[in-house]
Structure 1
């Protein structure tokens, strides 16, 4: 009887690792297909793939944040702004729910595997969904909601360290392993967003609140100065940004998105935290930048005039910086999990050795170790359709239909991509956004 229980326990460990790996691989493959269609501008196809992944339970309940983020982006560029805002709102609510649940559950929430946890988003994902919500509300002429979302971008960045610091403290209180594991949040040099203040400044100006617009412009300058401290930042304050203070100068906001968010890759390490020479696998992700080839973007209106767009936010670099906040927590919980799995493995092998001898114990330990390693995986889930950079400018157009062609150029002024968009400007138009994306 006893040997059957032991065998069953080892088999369950092995299958747990195999099943976890298969599920994660299916999700990664499905998201890769969806991202490919999105990058090709086949938004309907990308939308269909996302829905198919959900219908076939490849996007599981624990992946609801991811599904909502992808649907939000796809629907925005499809032109379904109401559905886009709804999807991003769902993502935001799921992030809050999952985060609160993980705090209440303590370390018991992540005993199995990070890929099996409810995905509650990265700091930058939680931040930039509000940017798209703001633009979505703009398209629906809901200025008040657009302003709320614009201000939330900067607010979330400013509160991120405190939020995860409190989370780390909660995990430390529930940690009873008596191991030398430090629970703390990391730090980030980015606590503000130029895009947040640019959008808010334009909205205040259009509402006739000139003091509010001026204050946001001052904050914009400070935020850009702060961002310039990041390595390889290309962000600069441009005089065209000040145009948003003059509400009579423009009725159209031209925006272009390019590049891809950083990729998550496995960066697992082995550590001898048990000091027994056997080592414990710590499965953690790291962000790898995917630099864009785009160096300049222009918008050509009706083939008669053009404006150069200026970079206003480096989303990928903000992602890289803010990932530092959560990373120490990811390492700590992976370490805890490794310690507990190692202890369970030792318990099984000791029991086998007592029952059947040292050779059987060694075999059980070997199989248990392989099962433990197989079941421990870095969580590589992420928002696949998130762009890397945002460029913008404003212009005043006469009432009527207009063709806007976005041209994306390399540093050598080679045309990399061109996309045409059509907009209709009403007689009393206050602020109509028109957007393009090149996910190179």
Structure 2
């Protein structure tokens, strides 16, 4: 009975999404100071959420022009998530007795890859010294994730993961900018074309690097990177235990102890990735008061997150089923050890078991300030100062006021611009860099 009471005392906490909603809404409203205050306050109270809070803070710092601070936080969480990929037996056991919110959050697959993507972007907007290395890490990490697969699955569901093309794209941009490594750039752009066939801009990139010409004489290039729309988040939902999920659960149960699946399983609580409906799907660009075009998607984060969630759904449900079985077994074991044969006491044990199961919460911790899409456009311009205007777009048409910034174009060099449009209103500043 003492074990049962102890487990009830450490039952799962409330959903992650509620306490942080105000901070994220403040960010979307452009109130970065208020968002920062709320994130700092949340981090002092929710130690298990520290890493996802740092990820949100990194996005805030990047939007505000503090690329160095964003890079520092992203690097910390990258290293922490890498460390947490090593199995912690104590935490794994504890989570079976409560729920996954008791475990240190090790990040979803898409988050691990996007950390490296945002590291590359943050470093690019600082001095670009490590941007190429971060780009290579994007591809290395997703290959590692796919190869590792999912425990308990006979077939690897991650083999169908769509690849993140942003790392290869930026790597190609940087190799081309050297004016020496056009062959490397062509390989990277070729990878982008294979992974993101709807990104039509890469075809022009391939033609250009094949000719070995970065830009015309007395011209330079401006790359506008845009973080567009509100990205994925998680919510709790009840899921039926499908036959495939039960097969996975049975394999996990065989590995963790002498447990068997009951004939029926009630719906279990699991996290589900949600892609918000966004009013903005691009950023329109004008140069010196002349329309240029709209940014194009090189990585669709929402699509990536939802597809990965669906691909690993059987394993997610299976873990929840295993947790349910282990809890029931714990109650039965406690009753046997205490030789419970009194009707009232037996009812008390069963009631405690029901309460124990009811206290479960799905783990909805997530990187809540990711964009829906990473987009880009390339503009070749004469050397000199130009006025760049950027505004929200939908269906290729402007849907809100533009924001402007002066950009300096240097002969044969790249200038990088970064802007965030999670909604119709720009968040933070227009960042510019010529590393």
TM-score, scaled relative to structure 2: 0.81
8 Å CA contact 1:138–1:432 kept in 2: the answer is no
Residues 316/342 of structure 1: CA separation in 2 closer, same or farther (3 Å cut): same
1:155 maps to 140
Q: Secondary structure at the match of 1:251?
A: strand
1:436 maps to 419
1:76 maps to 62
Query: 1:303 deviation in Å?
Result: 2.6
Deviations 1:377-398 (A, max 9, x none): 2111111100111221122456
Deviations 1:197-233 (A, max 9, x none): 22111100111211111222222211123xx6xxxxx
Query: 1:342 deviation in Å?
Result: 0.9
Residues 364/256 of structure 1: CA separation in 2 closer, same or farther (3 Å cut): same
1:175 maps to none
Deviations 1:373-420 (A, max 9, x none): 21x22111111100111221122456666543322222383x434452
Give runs of aligned pairs for residues 62-211 of structure 1, distance below 5 A. Answer: 62-102=48-88, 107-108=92-93, 110-111=95-96, 112-143=98-129, 145-165=130-150, 168=151, 185-208=156-179, 209-211=181-183
Query: 1:346 deviation in Å?
Result: 2.0
Give runs of aligned pairs for residues 16-55 of structure 1, distance below 5 A. Answer: 16-17=10-11, 20-21=12-13, 24-25=14-15, 27-55=16-44
| Greater Cα offset, 285-294 or 383-392 | 285-294
1:248 maps to 215
Gaps of 5+ in 1: 1-5, 173-181, 229-234
Deviations 1:49-83 (A, max 9, x none): 2112112x22x1x3232022112211111100111
Select which of 280, 302, 315 maps to 1:316: 302
2:349 maps to 364
Query: 1:430 deviation in Å?
Result: 2.8
1:221 maps to 193
Residues 430/42 of structure 1: CA separation in 2 closer, same or farther (3 Å cut): farther
**Structure with more helix by fraction:** 1
TM-score, scaled relative to structure 1: 0.80
Residues 189/308 of structure 1: CA separation in 2 closer, same or farther (3 Å cut): same
8 Å CA contact 1:13–1:368 kept in 2: the answer is no
1:212 maps to 184
| Greater Cα offset, 208-217 or 155-164 | 155-164
Residues 185/288 of structure 1: CA separation in 2 closer, same or farther (3 Å cut): same
| Greater Cα offset, 390-399 or 306-315 | 390-399
CA distance in 2, matches of 1:428, 1:202: 16
Select which of 370, 395, 418 maps to 2:379: 395
Residues 28/183 of structure 1: CA separation in 2 closer, same or farther (3 Å cut): farther
Residues 278/100 of structure 1: CA separation in 2 closer, same or farther (3 Å cut): same
Aligned-residue CA RMSD (Å):
3.0
| 1:260 is aligned to 2:249 | no
Query: 1:135 deviation in Å?
Result: 1.4
CA distance in 2, matches of 1:241, 1:34: 39
Query: 1:280 deviation in Å?
Result: 5.6
Residues 88/326 of structure 1: CA separation in 2 closer, same or farther (3 Å cut): farther
1:232 maps to none
CA distance in 1, matches of 2:354, 2:148: 36
CA distance in 1, matches of 2:288, 2:31: 24
8 Å CA contact 1:110–1:333 kept in 2: the answer is no
8 Å CA contact 2:193–2:202 kept in 1: the answer is no
Query: 1:300 deviation in Å?
Result: 2.0
Determine which structure has greater relative contact order: mean sequence separation of CA pairs < 8 Å that are 6+ residues apart, divided by chain length.
2
Deviations 1:347-381 (A, max 9, x none): 334566x456123202320232122221x221111
Q: Secondary structure at the match of 1:33?
A: helix
How many residues get paired? 399
| Greater Cα offset, 402-411 or 252-261 | 402-411
CA distance in 2, matches of 1:321, 1:428: 42
| Greater Cα offset, 91-100 or 308-317 | 308-317
8 Å CA contact 1:37–1:45 kept in 2: the answer is yes
